Amino acid sequence: MNELTRLSAAEVAGKIADGDVSALEVAQAHLDRIAAVDAQVHAFLHVDTDGALDVAKSVDAKRSAGDQLGPLAGVPLAMKDVVVTRGLPTTAGSRILEGWRPPYDATITRRAKDAGLVMLGKTNMDEFAMGSSTENSAYGPTHNPWDLARIPGGSSGGSSAAVAAFEAPLGIGTDTGGSIRQPAAVTGIVGFKPTYGAVSRYGLIAFSSSLDQAGPFGRTVLDAALLYDVLHGHDPADSTSIPVVRFDTAAAAREGGAADLRGVRVGVVRELGGEGYQPGVLSSFESAVTTLKGLGAEVVEVSCPHFDYALAAYYLIAPSECSSNLARFDAVRYGLRVGDDGTNSLEDVMSLTREAGFGAEVKRRIMIGTYALSSGYYDAYYGQAQKVRTLIVRDFEAAFEQADVLVSPTSPFVAFGIGERVDDPMAMYVNDLCTLPASLAGTPAISVPSGLSDGLPVGLQIMAPTLADDRCFRVGAAFEAAVPALVPPELP
């Protein structure tokens, strides 16, 4: 393996800025790595070799011309395929969008391009971001670099696997109920879900509009922070984008690197642990709490009683919104069309196309959402779930009066075997148990590697109040500095 692929994004950027290495060499090294290992990992759905090399060359040209470069100029990036990229295939892991080349860029695609990031390609995912294993991709599963027989988490499993397998130093994922944090945890990397509204959703193929947020993956907290600083900020094209938000999370991560948490109150959430969690996950979490204490943090236990209902509320709200968001895939303007044989009506063609184009999990969620929004059921299901959501927000507010950050395991489980849970939707849904509350409340949360259980990575989730995104990075970096880095075994 070319050592360039082992470097952190911050190190790569530094070398390019100093002229020690060209962006072109860096891009080529990563493309070579993809060529070498991606047949096994299957992190990418589409590799844009020409596009990546072109961008790398232009970064080098700008540098030669003495132009001011951003802090991540020339650093390779793995982009989740749910993010719209002009002229490049964008499928959201679904058969129904096979071959679609969008005529526009997502706001975060444009931000990444403007920052000089070198997009290597589009990464695999659970279809329309629905899942926790990347097995729901229409294009086959992605494999965890720690154990190729296991899942890389989901739905952003392609990006997490790409970063863990040194195919890219940085990745972009989206998180609706845990789809950045859980894959980060089970592949041993860092993943961050921002405050809802901090990153533009314009150009993210919507799953659940009130929950979806894009965020960064990196192998270090600082790398994730550097990418987050590129991604976040107000976007007038997204009505839910928060005006005038600017964090300096890279500064927060560097500050955290001093590994001093004196004066920081850390709340352990009583409801996120205990029965049903894997013992190795719980013991890793316990030692993480001990580590935080060792860094000077004051640890308190907090109770958030309504977190017990987060899973039920989430699996009503997200499917309801998705049933509406996915109605646009109708075989008229783009994407797949099935059954147009001259005799079928449009209604038949729509139904045949959606039947053929969507996978089982997507169909299940569309039908659950259709049910939950139906008149007569709305109040008992969707309406009730939105009220429970309010109580979860209030639980957070009360907890944040006692603590500056809250911590929990990121997922109750380590990476499980591919195929193990595909036939049991509920067994899949509980992967999100710890990540759902922050999604419902719109609060920021980061997953940082906390150790291994039976040789597989475990993640620590650090949650902060709304708009205290930088706090996640500061505490996360301090914790990271105090635990050994996780390095996956060499791929065969």
- The reply to whether 382 sits near another protein by the rule CB under 8 A is yes
Question: Pairing state of beta strands 76-80 and 298-302?
Answer: unpaired
Tell the residue number behind the tokens 């589009």, with chain if given: 122
In the complex, minimum distance from the CB of residue 61 to another protein, in angstroms, rounded to a whole number: 28
Residue 241 has phi, psi (to 5 degrees) of -80, 130
Q: Considering beta carbons, is residue 92 or 148 the nearer one to another protein? A: 92
CB 318 within 8 A of CB 211: yes
Upper half-sphere CA count for residue 129 (Cβ side, 13 Å): 32
Shortest Å, Cβ 49 to another protein:
23
Please report, as residue ranges, which positions from 428 to 447 form the binding site for another protein (by CB under 8 A).
Answer: 429-430, 433, 440-443
Instruction: Give DSSP secondary structure letters for 417-437.
Output: BTTSSTT-HHHHHGGGTTTHH
- Identify the CA nearest to 363 among candidates 95, 80, 123: 95
Residue 425 binds another protein, judged by CB under 8 A: yes
309 near another protein, judged by CB under 8 A: yes
Of the candidates 2, 209, 287, 453, which one interacts with another protein according to CB under 8 A? 209
Q: How far is the CB of 114 from another protein (least distance, A)?
A: 18
Residues near another protein (CB under 8 A), total = 110
In the complex with another protein, the residue whose CB is nearer, 181 or 389, is 389
Please identify which of the residues 94, 156, 159, 179 carries the catalytic annotation.
179
Tell me the β-bridge partners of 298.
265
- Contacts of another protein in 86-145 (CB under 8 A): 90, 92, 97, 100-104, 106
* CA 201 to chain CA centroid, nearest Å: 13
8 A C-beta contact, residue 411 and residue 188: no
Q: Report the C-alpha gap between 331 and 351 in whole angstroms.
A: 9
197 contributes a contact to another protein by CB under 8 A:
yes
Residue number, 25 or 348, with CB nearest to another protein: 348
Smallest CA-to-CA distance from 262 within 299, 288, 232 is with: 299
**Under a CB-based contact definition with an 8 Å cutoff, are residues 53 and 63 in contact?**
no
By C-alpha distance, which of 477, 487, 481 is closest to 446? 477
* 272 interacts with another protein by CB under 8 A: no
Under rule CB under 8 A, residue 195 binds another protein: yes
Angle (CA) 92-93-97 rounded to 5° is: 65
Question: Where do the H-state alpha helices sit in 85-240?
Answer: 107-114, 157-164, 181-187, 221-231
Q: CB 371 → another protein: shortest distance, Å?
A: 6
Counting contacts by CB under 8 A, is residue 2 touching another protein? no
Instruction: Quote the tokens at residue 350.
Output: 């729509």
H or E, element range at 469? helix 469-482
Amino acid found at 309: Y
The active-site residue, picked from 155, 156, 200, 447, is: 155
For the question of residue 160 being annotated catalytic, the response is no
Structure tokens that stand for 146 in this block: 């720690």
Residue 45 sits in the site that holds another protein (CB under 8 A): no
CB nearer to another protein: pick between 5 and 94: 94
Among residues 109 and 187, whose Cβ is nearest to another protein? 109
Q: Whose Cβ is closer to another protein: residue 170's or residue 336's?
A: 336
What is the distance, to the nearest Å, from the Cα of residue 343 to the centroid of all Cα atoms in its chain? 44
Instruction: State which residue, 247 or 309, has the beta carbon closest to another protein.
Output: 309
| Measured CA distances, 6 to 86, 153, 164, 166, 190 (Å) | 30, 22, 10, 6, 15
Of 15, 22, 80, 193, catalytic = 80
> Does 371 engage in binding with another protein (CB under 8 A)?
yes
Asked whether the bond before 155 is cis by omega within 30 degrees of 0, the reply is: yes
Which residue in 264, 281, 385, 472 binds another protein (CB under 8 A)? 385
**Displacement of CA 138 from its chain's centroid (Å):** 19
CB of 357 to another protein, least distance (A): 10
AA letter at 262 = R
Interaction with another protein in 218-237: which residues (CB under 8 A)? Answer: 236-237
Nearest CA-CA partner of 358 in 333, 326, 319: 326
* Tokens of residue 448, six digits: 């940082």
- Of 68 and 239, the one with the shorter C-beta distance to another protein is 239
Please indicate whether residue 241 is annotated as part of the active site.
no
Helix (H, G, I), strand (E, B) or coil at 232: coil
Check: CB of residue 137 under 8 Å from CB of residue 422.
no
CB 35, min distance to another protein, A: 29
x/- track of binding to another protein for residues 241-270 (CB under 8 A)? -xx---------------------------
The structure tokens listed for 196 are: 């809802």
Q: Does 333 bind another protein (CB under 8 A)?
A: yes
Q: Which of 3, 18, 275, 490 binds another protein (CB under 8 A)?
A: 275
Q: Which of 114, 140, 283, 387 binds another protein (CB under 8 A)?
A: 387
Question: Contact with another protein (CB under 8 A): which of 210, 287, 303, 453?
Answer: 210
Q: Which of residues 462-481 bind another protein (CB under 8 A)?
A: 466-467
Using the rule CB under 8 A, give the single segment among 14-22, 206-214, 281-289, 482-490 that binds another protein. Answer: 206-214
Active site residue 179: yes
Among 311, 407, 446, 448, binds another protein (CB under 8 A): 311
287/386 with CB nearer another protein: 386
Nearer to another protein, 31 or 206 (CB): 206
- What residues act catalytically? 80, 155, 179
